[in-house]
Structure 1
């Protein structure tokens, strides 16, 4: 640009074009162009690029690339594959570069264009994303639910072990509680947890749990086109934002609940941000969203999958390819099952009979050892091989108690030890642990003694054991009644009271 200015100034002061070309060591054509334009016009192609070696093969290339629309993305033609096929199948003699340039230009011409959208207050978009996290020292993949309010750009993020239907519903329930209101409508993709089928006319056949959720909150559901993430671009962008800003570096928390509390705090902090092109913060614009949204219903939606099952001969109930134990007295009976995000609840008629932490493994078996103790008491020879008791980490005092019971009473001692464990059906492990430890200190090695001691701990009264006799029953104190006590009934005071 400096040379451009000097040439134009020199010519304006009387220097000829020939002299200017010689003085500045440039061509006369260049001088002529400098005098024609006040600033460099840049390179201008007067005619489109011609590729004579390629033109006859363009219909073939276009046919291949059009056919790629119906095959998986990873199995589509690359420029290198097009070049190889043209040489092998059609005798192409040109170079690879013209193939690559043509395909790049064709892709640019075919890229989709988008219309900028304006978002009215009170509406939302929802989606799930994935990221690596470390929970309790174990690195694992977390699936995080994201709800976005596009008008204000306010968001809510919550992590789950898996993106199951219950997680979708639970994420909404927590998001609504976070904002204190319910959106008028929500845009979704066509996830199988929400949409069981897309009918030929485009109507969505909703999953049962999702339909119940929409009915509870009276939300209008809207859907993007299959495979078109730009139909809900706000939440798609927010999924990436949450991954880059909330999960880099890899989050490390003791529990998933602690991680989710931290995520909620990050969502609150983000409301203080002012985004590009906006004069208000996210929190200020959020007030318009909240004013347009619906009030929360009287009670939140119960985000659980409900089904039924039957107890097997091993006191197991199958739910989502995993088996969960129930007390053996319910063997072979029909039960109902409620699957929450973190818990599986099993009941029989109107009674809850088992609660387990939910497993997301495949073909896992989740035992509660207490469920099998009554059966093991009857089949005492199965004590050491019982699968439900394997890996049951009881305090060391229980091992000592069993060893002393078996040493003193033989096989009957093993049965009494199981009877002691069965006290867990009614008392906590902490109370039973304290009672067993106290029994060992007193030398009262027996079920009756442990039962009496745990009752005393719960009722907060001192134990009274007769250590001189077995089976260590509470010592009874019987007093002798004197004749004077009966004579008191004949006194005048007693008659007046009567």
Structure 2
């Protein structure tokens, strides 16, 4: 009976590998990034001939991580493998037919067309078809990420992983006469040249802006300027950034969120609408948590005290200066306005432009009827002559 069981166990043929080819897979581990304990997905590319390796961590195993991993790996190796062997991940494969043919995803086709490598795929559920990279996944987890990695950012983690890959080139593996680094030079000589620019590693999806100026991407909502409400847009999801475009114009950029059902706002996107609806200022969700220096709150209090309801709208107009000018410039103008007691939008704008252009500007006092009027009489030449002669006018 035992002999029968042994007979049924699968046997394997030792393989040799030509230089210039690669295998790719993802692995998982846990660590702390930016003080938050989380799952880390790491991209692995192995060169079977030399056993050289590349490992890179990501927040999730996504299309954009898959593409960014290829960019970074090709940059690390200084060339493009002639062919890359994959499993049948849904990132790359839409459908596998019984005869072995595969329909590839559009992103996989674009990536392959950019780098010009041949794609090969293992049999479904047969990890041994790409045993080299499977081994690298385990090796990297045990040797590069034990104890559990703790880094301030994924960039810091990936700098650590890249250094570990470089250090590994000094090793000479069992049964080999040359080190990994020495054999890698043979791999590198067989690579295809790098393209002039890396691949645009992002996921591209179409979406529609809601009435609240939000665009949904992977369960999360990202804001755009309110004037684009109800427009069709394209979302490009990068590893750490979400870019939203309407036609050829980029209308919003946000840090990427990997939470679920999150809302990511840019307060500036809503100021134009708040100028029309100033009563919503205090309850506007996009402005919650927007930390501004104390001078802004002081300016608002004085504006509303002196101008009443109009003061709130003028305060929003001051905030809208941030749509055009830098935060430092607007903050300086607000400080100067408070120092001079010039409380109003036109005053802040005047001081801001004067600071930028380094020249005096005329303030339109007709917009401030509450200011006391000063009448200066015209001086006659006779009065001036009397002053210079010492006579009484």
Same-fold call, TM cutoff 0.5: yes
Once the two structures are superposed, what CA deviation does each residue of 1:211-235 show, in whole Å capped at 9, x if it has no partner?
1111111111111111111111111
| Corresponding residue number in structure 1 for 2:336 | 438
Structure 1 residue runs of 5 or longer lacking an equivalent are: 1-101, 473-479, 481-498
Comparing both structures, which one devotes a greater share of its residues to strand? 2
Find the residue that maps to 2:252 and give its secondary structure.
strand
Aligned partners of 1:240, 1:434: CA distance in 2, in Å? 55
Aligned partners of 1:145, 1:381: CA distance in 2, in Å? 50
How far apart are residue 106 of structure 1 and its match? 6.3
| Corresponding residue number in structure 2 for 1:181 | 79
Find the residue that maps to 1:202 and give its secondary structure.
coil
How far apart are residue 469 of structure 1 and its match? 9.6
Judged with a 3 Å threshold, the aligned counterparts in structure 2 of structure 1 residues 250 and 430 are, in CA distance, closer, same or farther, namely farther
* Higher mean C-alpha displacement, 393-402 vs 409-418: 393-402
Once the two structures are superposed, what CA deviation does each residue of 1:84-118 show, in whole Å capped at 9, x if it has no partner?
xxxxxxxxxxxxxxxxxx7x876554332211111
Alignment of 1:472-483 (within 5 A): none
| Corresponding residue number in structure 2 for 1:235 | 133
| Corresponding residue number in structure 2 for 1:254 | 152
How far apart are residue 456 of structure 1 and its match? 3.8
| Corresponding residue number in structure 1 for 2:39 | 141
Contact 2:346 2:364 (C-alpha < 8 Å) held by counterparts: no
Judged with a 3 Å threshold, the aligned counterparts in structure 2 of structure 1 residues 242 and 458 are, in CA distance, closer, same or farther, namely farther
Alignment of 1:397-412 (within 5 A): 397-412=295-310
Alignment of 1:480-495 (within 5 A): none
How far apart are residue 248 of structure 1 and its match? 1.1
For the pair 1:155 / 2:49, whether they are aligned, the reply is: no
Contact 1:169 1:303 (C-alpha < 8 Å) held by counterparts: yes
Alignment of 1:60-459 (within 5 A): 108-459=6-357
Q: RCO (CA 8 Å, sep 6+): is it higher in 1 or 2? A: 2
Contact 1:190 1:224 (C-alpha < 8 Å) held by counterparts: yes
How far apart are residue 369 of structure 1 and its match? 0.9
Judged with a 3 Å threshold, the aligned counterparts in structure 2 of structure 1 residues 231 and 447 are, in CA distance, closer, same or farther, namely same
| TM-score computed with the length of structure 2 as normaliser | 0.88
Once the two structures are superposed, what CA deviation does each residue of 1:38-68 show, in whole Å capped at 9, x if it has no partner?
xxxxxxxxxxxxxxxxxxxxxxxxxxxxxxx
Larger Rg: 1
Aligned partners of 2:288, 2:269: CA distance in 1, in Å? 14
Q: CA RMSD in A?
A: 2.2
Aligned partners of 2:328, 2:15: CA distance in 1, in Å? 60
Judged with a 3 Å threshold, the aligned counterparts in structure 2 of structure 1 residues 111 and 415 are, in CA distance, closer, same or farther, namely same
Judged with a 3 Å threshold, the aligned counterparts in structure 2 of structure 1 residues 411 and 272 are, in CA distance, closer, same or farther, namely same
Aligned partners of 1:456, 1:145: CA distance in 2, in Å? 53
| TM-score computed with the length of structure 1 as normaliser | 0.70
Contact 2:245 2:252 (C-alpha < 8 Å) held by counterparts: yes
Structure 2 residue runs of 5 or longer lacking an equivalent are: 372-378, 380-393
Find the residue that maps to 2:283 and give its secondary structure.
coil
* Higher mean C-alpha displacement, 195-204 vs 170-179: 195-204
Find the residue that maps to 2:42 and give its secondary structure.
strand
Judged with a 3 Å threshold, the aligned counterparts in structure 2 of structure 1 residues 466 and 376 are, in CA distance, closer, same or farther, namely closer
* Higher mean C-alpha displacement, 299-308 vs 172-181: 299-308
Aligned length: 370
Judged with a 3 Å threshold, the aligned counterparts in structure 2 of structure 1 residues 231 and 404 are, in CA distance, closer, same or farther, namely same
Aligned partners of 2:195, 2:104: CA distance in 1, in Å? 22
Contact 1:444 1:467 (C-alpha < 8 Å) held by counterparts: no
Contact 1:449 1:465 (C-alpha < 8 Å) held by counterparts: no
Aligned partners of 2:309, 2:170: CA distance in 1, in Å? 70
Contact 2:93 2:102 (C-alpha < 8 Å) held by counterparts: yes
